[in-house]
């Protein structure tokens, strides 16, 4: 109804005033949100800077805290300036918008504000993680008394990052013991996991795509029954396989190698199922056309099937990558802890947790690094990923 | 074209990754000494002290070397279970106290009496030692032990007038009104609770291990001495649970931290919402660096006086080792009074060796309270699957706390379940 009145040429004075009041209300919300959010972000930047500038040592926290409080004006000022600039831009835009389009402008503003709330809700845990990574030991759980939403630490330190990357004094002393200790660092764990997860993801998608192609498009005796049999294995909980698989891996002499990390998981029934569901929607006539043009079996697969099923293949790649990136239990079992070169990230992260205490700061700073590959993958592949998630879901 | 470039870059990056990571051979100097592997779950600082103790032992035993291997505490049970099935286990390991029983009943660890343990047995604290006493034999040596005591927030105590006015006069010892019995605890608790400020006197979690101080202070046990009967339905246990429930329901001095999703005792304590919580010595250093104004007192006493639980770890020797005597020699050396003194002074931990109690002197008065509390610890229930024991009992206790069942009803059900599904099975 409101849009109708907005478009009407004979609008009343009160409608105009109503719109302006509506606008003022939205601007007030925007100002408060902008001030709070940018205030936290600038404070975080100042905090990270002062933690970085402060030298390593016993007085580092005190110094960084002093530096930070001396820069309170800077981050508060920046937040105020940003908010003012933003307000001016929005108000000018509103004034420059013709009366007819003002309601649409307001609707768009509401939409953006709602989206910003959504973004804050989604990103808040990550921001919290980043902030906790800068907190000194013992203060991870302390909440500011004056403002519980102010989660940026006022006594920042880089010690957690140093300890995770093993570049603090104590770790250097440990590393001097022998070659094995030198290799026991986050970098090794990270690269190991990257290798295991990418290799596994490549191989799983490759095999699953070929398997799914056969189950979807080829004729073979008892195809349906074999497929049902495969699906039935999904009913068995993964835990049941663990000991036999471990036994086999050990008998093959692969204990503590990277092969052991992913070899038992290469045959992914779930992957075949997901890809088959998608490939069923590819018309057979396309394949026949390719065959008439003289395409070989492999060419049909490569030129027709894979490009068409690419979104879903990429989805499977991402899901497999995620699975192996965080597969704690299996990797723990096959890790040979005497050889740090076989330790992967989820297992390495668990080393920070004790019987009763968790080094929250260390876990958080390590997590900051560990989410990077996943974030990068999602950024590159998000379009396909979201498309793939829904495409496999419905079979028409 | 752009996409192709991306693929080429990805392939090159992948090949580089393979090149960097594929090789997992590592050079360690083989020097002819026999290697004893010791799986442990210590943290960085602890590992450094462990290495120095190992060095001392190696100078006396020149033909052996000990390789300490750290495994994550979170997965140490799963790791050991699977490694032992295929014979990849270590010579010795540090395991959670609750795991010793399973290892012993599965016949994986060596009975220490065969190595002469009865001669030195008496030097260890009785309560931690009991967790390694299974079916009449000792299978593990306690290497680290903890218990919980009562942490209190001094600022909140001052605000409630429970700390005497000794601030101005430095010479006068300030008087803290610490509850000695549960009745006093309730009385003090009422002064500390202020619901309008969302402030509570006490907060607890509801898991069996954390509830043991309540049961132990009434002399109640979970499992009988010989491990054959669940005695959770005893009168003293009912009395203890009734008292616990009264803190929540009748006197309303407990914050409900045991409810799912509530603010945990540790977080509430750090942020000044809960005045008293039960916690272990592992938090002392953490709270000190956070500049908290807190103190530690003994857990209030019930009919059996003050008492607490026992946590920590034991070291065990596996049957697969070829050098049981050497392992035993190292582990007793590691837990001897002198080495415990080094260990405890450097790491601010409680000794498990009674001999070390006289050698260690802590500057921290709170740690001294813990040493005192440790002497009054009650033994933990020794069962094959401790996690299952928790799973069977916790829901019943929760039913009492939330007022759905009476203490006797709940404990009778729990005792029956434990007997049927854990002990008799």
Half-sphere exposure of A294 (CA within 13 A, CB side): 0
How many CB atoms lie under 10 A from the CB of residue A206? 15
Name the band, by pLDDT with cuts 50, 70 and 90, for residue A10. low
Whether B287 and A138 lie within 8 Å, measured CB to CB: yes
SS3 content of chain A, % helix, strand, coil (to 5): 75, 0, 25
Judged against a pLDDT cut of 80, whether residue A56 lies above it is answered with no
Name the band, by pLDDT with cuts 50, 70 and 90, for residue A24. very high
Low-confidence ranges of chain B (pLDDT < 50): none
How far, in Å, CA of A321 to CA of A375, rounded?
A: 12
Using DSSP, state whether B95 is helix, strand or coil.
strand
Whether B289 and A138 lie within 8 Å, measured CB to CB: yes
Q: Which of A55-59, A162-166, B103-107 has the highest mean pLDDT?
A: B103-107
Whether A138 and B37 lie within 8 Å, measured CB to CB: no
Minimal Cβ distance to B69: which of A337, A350, A356:
A337
Say which CATH class B149-309+385-423 falls into: alpha beta
CB B397 within 8 A of CB B207: no
In order, the DSSP letters of B341-352 are: HHHHHHHT---S
A and B: number of Cβ contacts within 8 A: 129
Whether B17 and A198 lie within 8 Å, measured CB to CB: yes
Residue of B nearest to A139 (CA): B290
In order, the DSSP letters of B165-216 are: S-SS-SSSPPPB----BHHHHHHHHHHH-BGGGTBEEEE---SHHHHHHHHH
On chain B, the residues whose CB falls within 8 A of the CB of A328 are 75
Whether A141 and B271 lie within 8 Å, measured CB to CB: yes
* Positive or negative: CA dihedral B84, A264, A352, B64: positive
CB A155 within 8 A of CB A139: yes
In order, the DSSP letters of A75-105 are: HHHHHHHHHHHHHHHHHHHHHHS-GGGHHHH
pLDDT digits (tens, 9 = 90+) for A82-106: 999 999 999 999 888 888 888 889 9
Residue of A nearest to B89 (CA): A336
Residue of B nearest to A247 (CA): B86
**CA-based nearest distance A168→chain B, Å:** 12
Whether the predicted interface score ipTM is above 0.95: no
Q: What is the pLDDT of residue B30?
A: 63
Residue range B33-145+312-374 in CATH 3.40.190.10: yes
How far, in Å, CA of B399 to CA of B394, rounded?
A: 9
How far, in Å, CA of B117 to CA of B137, rounded?
A: 10
Q: What is the pLDDT of residue A374?
A: 87
As a residue count, chain A comes to 396
Minimal Cβ distance to A177: which of B51, B78, B267:
B51
Q: What angle do CA B347, B315, B380 make, to 5 degrees?
A: 90
As a whole number, mean pLDDT of residues A56-82 equals 85
Domain with CATH 3.40.190.10 in chain B: 33-145+312-374, 149-309+385-423
Alpha carbon separation from B206 to A281, B73, B155 (Å, rounded)? 53, 22, 26
Q: What is the pLDDT of residue A127?
A: 92
On chain B, the residues whose CB falls within 8 A of the CB of A341 are 21, 23-26
How far, in Å, CA of B218 to CA of B300, rounded?
A: 11
Minimal Cβ distance to B27: which of A179, A192, A353:
A179
Whether B86 and A173 lie within 8 Å, measured CB to CB: no
pLDDT digits (tens, 9 = 90+) for A297-353: 899 999 889 988 888 898 899 899 999 998 889 999 998 888 888 889 888 888 877
CB A173 within 8 A of CB A196: no
As a residue count, chain B comes to 425
Whether A174 and B26 lie within 8 Å, measured CB to CB: no
**Which range (A57-71, A106-120, A382-396) has the least confidence?**
A382-396
As a whole number, mean pLDDT of residues A366-392 equals 77
Q: What is the pLDDT of residue A359?
A: 77
Interface test with B, best of A61, A145, A261, A356 (most B CBs within 10 A): A356
Name the band, by pLDDT with cuts 50, 70 and 90, for residue A1. very low
Q: What is the pLDDT of residue A396?
A: 45
**Which range (A233-242, A276-285, A380-389) has the least confidence?**
A380-389
Characterize A327-358 residue by residue with b for buried, 16 or more Cβ atoms within 10 angstroms of its Cβ, and e for exposed. bbbbbbbbbbbbbbbbbbbbbbbbbbbbbebe
According to DSSP, the β-strands at B311-317 and B141-146 are antiparallel
**CA-based nearest distance B42→chain A, Å:** 7
Structure tokens at A357: 């205490």
pLDDT digits (tens, 9 = 90+) for A275-289: 999 999 888 888 999
């Amino acid at each position: 109804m409101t849009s109708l009145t907005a478009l009407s040429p004979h609008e009343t004075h009160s409608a105009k005033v109503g719109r302006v009041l509506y606008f003022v209300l939205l601007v007030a919300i925007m100002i408060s949100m902008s001030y709070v959010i940018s205030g936290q972000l600038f404070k975080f930047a100042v905090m990270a800077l002062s933690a970085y500038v402060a030298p390593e040592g016993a007085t580092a926290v005190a110094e960084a805290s002093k530096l930070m409080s001396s820069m309170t004006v800077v981050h508060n000022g920046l937040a105020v300036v940003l908010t003012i600039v933003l307000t001016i831009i929005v108000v000018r835009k509103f004034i420059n918008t013709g009366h007819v389009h003002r309601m649409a402008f307001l609707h768009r503003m509401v939409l953006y504000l709602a989206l910003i709330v959504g973004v804050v809700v989604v990103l808040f845990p990550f921001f919290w993680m980043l902030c906790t990574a800068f907190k000194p030991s013992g203060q991870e759980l302390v909440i500011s008394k004056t403002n519980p939403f102010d989660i940026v630490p006022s006594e920042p330190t880089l010690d957690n990052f140093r300890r995770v990357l093993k570049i603090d004094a104590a770790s250097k002393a440990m590393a001097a013991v022998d070659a094995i200790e030198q290799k026991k660092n986050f970098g090794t764990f990270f690269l190991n996991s990257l290798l295991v997860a990418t290799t596994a993801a490549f191989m799983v998608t490759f095999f699953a795509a070929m398997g799914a192609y056969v189950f979807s498009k080829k004729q073979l005796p008892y195809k349906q029954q074999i497929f049902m049999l495969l699906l039935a294995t999904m009913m068995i909980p993964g835990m049941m396989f663990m000991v036999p698989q471990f036994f086999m891996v050990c008998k093959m002499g692969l204990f503590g190698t990277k092969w052991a990390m992913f070899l038992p998981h290469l045959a992914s029934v779930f992957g075949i199922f997901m890809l088959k569901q998608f490939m069923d929607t590819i018309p057979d006539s396309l394949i026949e056309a390719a065959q008439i043009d003289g395409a070989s079996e492999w060419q049909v697969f490569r030129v027709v099937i894979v490009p068409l099923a690419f979104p879903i293949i990429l989805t499977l790649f991402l899901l497999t990558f995620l699975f192996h990136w965080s597969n704690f239990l299996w990797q723990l079992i096959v890790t040979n802890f005497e050889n740090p070169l076989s330790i992967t990230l989820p297992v390495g992260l668990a080393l920070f947790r004790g019987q009763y205490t968790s080094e929250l700061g260390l876990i958080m700073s390590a997590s900051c690094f560990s989410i990077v590959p996943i974030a990068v993958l999602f950024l590159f592949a998000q379009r396909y990923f979201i498309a793939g998630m829904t495409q496999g879901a419905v079979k028409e | 074209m752009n996409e192709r470039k991306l693929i080429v870059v990805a392939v090159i990056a992948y090949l580089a990754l393979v090149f960097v990571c594929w090789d997992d051979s590592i050079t360690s100097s083989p020097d002819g000494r026999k290697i004893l592997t010791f799986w442990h779950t210590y943290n960085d600082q602890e590992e450094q002290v462990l290495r120095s103790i190992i060095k001392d032992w190696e100078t006396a035993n020149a033909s052996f070397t000990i390789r300490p291997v750290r495994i994550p505490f979170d997965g140490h049970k799963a790791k050991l279970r699977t490694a032992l099935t295929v014979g990849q286990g270590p010579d010795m390991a540090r395991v959670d106290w609750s795991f010793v029983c399973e290892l012993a009943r599965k016949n994986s660890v060596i009975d220490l009496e065969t190595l002469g343990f009865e001669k030195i047995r008496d030097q260890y604290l009785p309560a931690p030692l009991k967790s390694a006493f299974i079916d009449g034999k000792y299978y593990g040596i306690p290497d680290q032990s903890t218990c919980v005591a009562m942490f209190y927030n001094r600022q909140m105590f001052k605000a409630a007038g429970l700390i005497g006015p000794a601030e101005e006069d430095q010479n006068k010892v300030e008087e803290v009104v610490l509850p000695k019995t549960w009745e006093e605890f309730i009385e003090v608790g009422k002064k500390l609770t202020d619901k309008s400020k969302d402030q509570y006197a006490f907060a607890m979690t509801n898991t069996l291990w954390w509830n043991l101080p309540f049961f132990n202070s009434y002399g109640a046990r979970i499992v009988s001495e010989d491990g054959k009967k669940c005695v959770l339905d005893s009168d003293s246990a009912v009395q203890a649970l009734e008292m616990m429930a009264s803190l929540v329901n009748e006197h309303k001095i407990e914050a409900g931290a045991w409810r799912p999703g509530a603010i945990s005792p540790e977080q509430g304590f750090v942020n000044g919402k809960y005045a008293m919580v039960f916690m272990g010595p592992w938090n002392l250093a953490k709270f000190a660096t956070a500049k908290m104004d807190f103190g530690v007192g003994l857990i209030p006493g019930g009919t059996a006086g003050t008492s607490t639980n026992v946590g920590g770890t034991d070291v065990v020797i596996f049957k697969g080792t070829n050098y049981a005597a050497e392992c035993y020699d190292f582990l007793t050396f590691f837990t001897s009074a002198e080495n415990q003194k080094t260990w405890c002074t450097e790491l601010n931990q409680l000794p498990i060796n009674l001999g070390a109690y006289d050698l260690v002197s802590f500057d921290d008065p709170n740690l001294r309270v813990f040493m005192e509390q440790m002497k009054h610890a009650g033994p933990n229930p020794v069962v094959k699957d401790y996690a299952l024991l928790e799973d069977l009992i916790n829901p019943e206790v929760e039913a009492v706390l939330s007022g759905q069942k009476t203490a006797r009803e709940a404990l009778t059900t729990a005792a029956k379940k434990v007997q049927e599904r854990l002990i008799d099975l």
